[in-house]
Structure 1
Amino acid sequence: MTESATSARQLPRGRHGLPREQVVASQRERILIAMAEAMVQNGYVGTSVAAILKRAGVSRETFYEQFRSKEACFEAAYERAVQNLLGRIADAAGDADDPAPEPDGMARIDRIFAAYLQHLVDDPASARLFLVEVYAVGSAALTRRAQLQELFVGLIADVLGAGTDDQRFACQTLAAAISAMVTGRIAADDPEGLLALRVPLLNLVRRGGKLYGDALLPATDAVRGR
């Protein structure tokens, strides 16, 4: 599980002699975590700067030294959540320089789906932030969300060997379907339902075969639940 704003490392009280950069970074991290946590209860519209400050344990002056507005804070919290998610997926996809033999397309997509879904379960506040609350913020946030989805499409397309426009489009529809399904389960606070998506999604990809890309061989075994 990811840490909360209250459990994030607090700075020592009084004169601590820490560099200004470290102080600012610690405050910023607590604010961004607090932003995501506060929205779980009240949504973006219902979350006040005061609620964020209370959770983060920082002053209003400190907040506005780093963010010009609540929307700017959301944008930064969104980027933090995105980078954490992308890092988790990249680790699961495997390092291109890894000397170990590369698994087949289905094995890699299994690892990616599993990491993606598990990350949403492990960090539900951030998941809600970039999957649900983003719609209440504005066009800039929605544009960034669309860019994130295209990154996910690109990763799926690369792993599955999508070499044609039709295969790329199939990967886009797959990513859109996944986004819609996980968003519904995040909104419903249904972590078990999130994890349960993995096997049917993998079986869908398996049955699609070369619809999604040339890396999928007809002989690929059916995916079984773990």
Structure 2
Amino acid sequence: MPPSAGITRQLPRGRHGLSRETVVASQRERILGAMAAAMAENGYVGTSVATIIKRAGVSRETFYEQFRSREDCFEAGYQRAVEMMLARTGAARSRTGAADPQQRLDRLLRAYLDALADEPTYARLYLVEVYAVGSKAIARRVELQESFVEVIVDLLGANTSAQRFACTTLVAAISAMVTARVAAGDLDGLRGLREPILELVHRGGELFGIDTP
């Protein structure tokens, strides 16, 4: 999710010898970064295209060459957040050496919470501002939450309908808690959720599909 420093800094004026593709990519990254930062401060409703282009240091023409509208720009930034999240959590899930479901859950939660805390502006897009954009964005958010439920179900070995419901409830609770902390800018509290969530799952044991000693 964080764009590289080399591509997001404003390009020099005049002749610079860079390809058209490089220029366009740089402009796009600057616009997305500016949009995320502006919406973190002012919310989706309070952020206009004019605010975004001023912050990004690009012209209105450049903005509309890249995006059809403010909503289109948001969707691109939201997709950036999704890709980052999937990369971080996917890497945690693919690591070997932890056969125990609770250890795998620990790795997944750590990756998820760290990803949010490391990029709070995009985290706010992902969790908070998405609800102000419209039904299409909300449907995408619901779809992603449902896919996370499937990850937890598979990770914990939930087989029965009751266990799947418990996992669904767990994910809904996690979503509500992380959203509240991201909205409040409480990054320490965000990371601090990991241990009590793990303890809850440990105490729940068979409720979620796992055996505990």
TM-score, structure 2 as length reference? 0.92
- Residue 127 of structure 1 corresponds to 123
Q: Secondary structure at the match of 2:45?
A: helix
Where does 1:1-226 land on structure 2 (aligned, <5 Å)?
Answer: 2=2, 8-95=8-95, 100-213=96-209, 216-219=210-213
Amino acid corresponding to residue 181 of structure 2 in structure 1: R
Looking at structure 2, the residues matched to 4 and 39 of structure 1 have their Cα atoms a distance apart, in angstroms, of 20
Q: CA deviation at 1:10?
A: 3.5
Kindly state the Cα deviation for residue 8 of structure 1 after the two structures are TM-superposed: 2.5
The answer (yes or no) to whether the contact 2:7–2:26 under 8 Å persists in 1 is no
Give the direction of change, closer, same or farther, for the CA distance of 1:81–1:106 in structure 2 (3 Å limit): same
Size of the aligned set, in residue pairs, is 213
Larger helix share, 1 or 2: 2
Q: Is the 8 A contact 1:6 1:56 kept in 2?
A: no
Asked if the contact 1:5/1:31 (under 8 Å) is kept, the reply is no
Q: 1:53·1:63 contact (CA, 8 Å) conserved in 2?
A: yes
Q: Distance in 1 between matches of 2:27 and 2:77?
A: 13
Aligned to 1:224: none
1:7 deviates by 8.7
Amino acid at match of 1:62: T
Change (3 A) 1:28 1:15: same
Contact 1:149 1:175 in 2 (8 A): yes
| Structure 1 Cα separation of the partners of residues 23 and 161 of structure 2 | 49
| Counterparts of 2:164 and 2:60, CA distance in 1 | 47
Give the 3-state SS of the residue equivalent to 1:46 in structure 2: coil
* CA displacement at 1:3 relative to structure 2: 5.9
Q: Percent of aligned pairs with the same residue?
A: 64
Q: CA 1:103–1:12 in structure 2 vs 1: closer, same or farther (change >3 Å)?
A: farther
* AA matched with 1:36: A
Contact 1:5 1:34 in 2 (8 A): no
Q: 1:6 to 1:139 in 2, by over 3 A?
A: farther
- Whether the aligned pair in 2 keeps the contact of 1:93 and 1:111 (CA below 8 Å) is yes
Q: Scaled by the length of structure 1, what TM-score is found?
A: 0.87
CA distance in 2, matches of 1:147, 1:19: 38
State the AA in 1 paired with 2:179. Answer: T
The one-character-per-residue Cα deviations of 1:26-45 (angstroms, maximum 9, x if unpaired) are 21121111111001111100
Paired with 2:5 and 2:138, the residues of 1 have a C-alpha distance of 25
Instruction: Please list every run of 5 or more consecutive structure 2 residues that lacks an aligned counterpart in the other structure.
Output: none
Deviates more, 1:1-10 or 1:46-55: 1-10
